[in-house]
Structures are given as structure tokens and as C-alpha cells.
Amino acid sequence: MACLNRLRFLITFQRFEHVNNFISKPRSRNFVSHSRFASGRSFTFHNKGMNDACHYKAAEGNCRRFCSVTANRLCWKCGSSAELFFCSSCKVIQPPIDNTNYFCILNCEQKFSLDIQKLQRTFIELQRSLHPDNFSQKSSKEQEFSETQSALVNKAYRTLQKPLSRAIYMLELQGVLLEDGTDATADPCFLREVMEVNESLAETQNQDEVDAIGQSVRGKLKDLIDQMNSSLNKGDLLTAKGLLVRMKYFTNIEEKVKKRITERW
């Protein structure tokens, strides 16, 4: 009975607030995205989740890449065709476009398996150009656009950087949201396993045991990430949604392990 009560407590009260920030309304769908890299090579892919067409190109004199909207995007200042971040003619910064796809912003194919180092490099390149410090002597409108564009790039990077938030976002693009109460529908055996791991972590004062729990959890997360990648590649959204619930639990435990290790030092 005590075990059952603990299980009910886990289902009812355990929440993951750091994850919920990534859950929002589904993006618009049916887009065609076209990417052009500095090498000149380009490709086109069809998918859901964005209401504009975009391509990337190298800026003159440097290696920075910017996402361009090709459909009726005009500069607010000079009226020329404008890219996602800057005007192609007068180079003035542009206002953000609602519901811009994060993969487009950070020059990524829309897939679960990403090159995180490349993602980070793109993020740094964009922030070097968009950061508000660069616009302190510009007009108030340009300063405002810089702040909103920089914040958008930050949000896109935070979302795509981690496997859990990336999976949530990709399912969201397909119109699949994690509703309240989804955790309660998870496999009771799995929930029992999670409860036991949480209890072991909470009770132990042995750092070797904490490390062992962390290693075990990382192994389980790696397996779940591999399964998630396979499910999303096959378009099996139902399986992906179930895997997402498991990833949430083990990611939460991983954060607790990291906190215990930090406290040790």
C-alpha cells in the first residue's frame, strides 16, 4: 500500500517545469524550405512547421549566414527585398517574423539528429551580428528589432540544443502536444522503475552510488534518444510521443544527479 501511494504521488505531483517552457501552440504547417550554403551548394526539402520559404547565403566579406524569406518580404526602411534578419540592400536589421521555424533560423535540416557543434557555431555567428550591443548608436526601432531578433535566436538555440526540448519542438511542429495528464498514462512498470531510482538517489549519501545512478540514467537516455531519432525519421509520432514521456523522467533524474555531483564539490 505504501508503494502504491508513492506511485500515485509520483504520477500526480512530479512535474518538469523546465520542460513545459518549450510547449506552446503548434506552428503553421506545409512549407518548402530551400537552403544555400557558403559553398554554393543548395538543396530543397519539404516538411511541416513553417509558413515561409527560406535560404541561407554567405554575407559579403565574411562567413556569416542569414536566413532569407523569399515571399513578399520587404525592408521596413527602404522597401527593397529583405532577408530574415537584414535588408539585402540597405543592410538595416529587420523585425522578426512570427512563427519562424527554429531549424531555418539556425541553418539546420529539420531532423532530430543534429551536429551540435555546428549548431553552436551558427548561433555564435548570428549573435555577433544581432546582439543589442551592436545597435546602441542606432535608432530606437533598430534597437528594438535587435533585442527581439537576438532573443529569438537564443530561444531557437536553447530549444534545439538539448534532445528533450528538440523532440518536444519537432512533435509540436507536427501538431502533437504533450497534454496535461500524459504522464499518468505511462506504463506502470516504467513509473515504478523511475520511482525506485528517485528513491535510491534521494536516500544514498555515497557519491560512488550517485555516480553509478548517473551513469545508468545516461545510458537509458542514450537508448531513448536513439529510439526517438528512429521514430521521428519514420514519422511514427505515436511512438515518439511515448518515448518523450520517458525522456522527461530520465532527464529530470539526470538533472538531480548533476546537482548532487555539484554539491559534492
DSSP states of 192-220:
HHHHHHHHHHHH---HHHHHHHHHHHHHH
User: What pLDDT score does 68 carry?
Assistant: 40
The grid cell for 204 is 544514498
Domains of the chain (ranges, CATH numbers):
2-20+180-264 (1.20.1280.20), 31-173 (1.10.287.110)
Which DSSP letter does residue 262 get?
H
If DSSP codes are grouped into helix, strand and coil, which group holds residue 61?
coil
User: What pLDDT score does 261 carry?
Assistant: 86
pLDDT in tens, 216-241: 999 999 999 999 999 999 999 999 99
Crossing angle (nearest 10°) for helices 237-264 and 163-173: 160
pLDDT band at 263 (very low <50, low <70, confident <90, very high): confident
Tell me if 183 sits within 8 A of 233, measured CB to CB.
no
pLDDT in tens, 64-82: 334 444 457 899 999 999 9
In which residue are the cell numbers 537576438 written?
150
Q: Looking at the predicted structure, is the pLDDT value of residue 151 above 80?
A: yes
Q: Which backbone phi and psi does 63 adopt, to 5 degrees? A: -105, 15
The grid cell for 101 is 521555424
Q: Looking at the predicted structure, is the pLDDT value of residue 103 above 90?
A: yes
On whether the pTM is more than 0.85, the answer is no
Write down the mean pLDDT value for the chain.
Answer: 78
If you average pLDDT over residues 138-142, what whole number do you get?
97
